[in-house]
Amino acid sequence: MVLFCLLTNVNMYAKLSSRIVRFDLFTLYLRQPELLFFASMDLEKTKEQLINVEKEIASCQLCPLYKTRRNIVPAEGNPHAEIMFIGEAPGAREDECGRPFCGPAGKFLDQLLDSIGLQRADVYIANTLKCRPPANRDPLPEEKSACRKYLEEQIAIINPKIVVTLGRHSTETYLPDLGGITKLRAKLYHRANGIFPRTSLPTADDAGLYFFPLYHPAAALHNGAMRQTLLDDFAKLPAAIAKVKAEIEKTKKDKIKQEKL
């Protein structure tokens, strides 16, 4: 009865906005029961923070894209996700419905998630840009710069264990000067805290951020041979998450030891 009441109460607060997936709390309980109490206590605060960022994006005029967009595409997903995906920019379908990855590339992303036992309700999905570039052209440097503060606020609020960058533009935003996506893909990279220019919120339990670059799902739509490559690369993600958790736990233990000295 206590569990039922708690699940019911949390489910009321799970309806954060039209852009937040109404994740299955029973699934959360089965997969990560230790997060249920945290979710029930902290969800309202997280909701307010994400909606505030969404309001900032809606009123943003830092680049010309606000003049041509139909809808902003802030992000969507589980506000307590361990995995955050960052794509490049909204396409025509995303601009129409205001949701990231709701077109053909999104359908393949759903299949990729399913291949490792996940659903959209388990993860958080955002883009480097929050508005569609005209004719689906590549994001310009000044556009990525204008949107970066909103993306980093979302990262700090979600506080994921791992950030999966999808495609060249997303990857080079956070892993510059390390090489191209072909070289970096399906490998784990760590960045210490302090990468956010606008916020001092901690990330991943003070352990910094871990990045796992992958090809963008749209690559498989243009080149059928990329489909298996993406499936193979996605299959490496669970092991990467396990490694991150182990490193975070080690960081915690080392910090406790230092505090006792």
- Rounded to whole angstroms, the Cα distance separating 39 from 181 reads 35
* Helical ranges in the chain per DSSP H: 2-13, 25-31, 36-58, 65-68, 92-97, 104-115, 141-158, 168-174, 181-184, 218-222, 226-234, 237-260
- Rounded to whole angstroms, the Cα distance separating 182 from 214 reads 9
Q: Could you tell me which CATH number the domain at 50-260 has?
A: 3.40.470.10
- Rounded to whole angstroms, the Cα distance separating 210 from 234 reads 16
Q: Which pLDDT score, from 0 to 100, does residue 3 have?
A: 41
pTM of this structure: 0.82
73 near 131, Cβ under 8 Å? yes
How crowded is residue 199: how many other Cβ atoms within 10 Å of its Cβ?
A: 13
Q: Where are the domains of the chain?
A: 50-260
- Over its length of 261 residues, how does the chain's per-residue pLDDT go in tens digits? 434 333 333 333 343 444 554 444 555 555 555 555 555 667 788 889 999 999 999 999 999 999 999 999 999 999 999 999 999 999 999 999 999 999 999 999 999 999 999 999 999 999 999 999 999 999 999 999 999 999 999 999 999 999 999 999 999 999 998 999 999 999 999 987 645 443 444 444 556 899 999 999 999 999 999 999 999 999 999 999 999 999 988 888 888 888 877
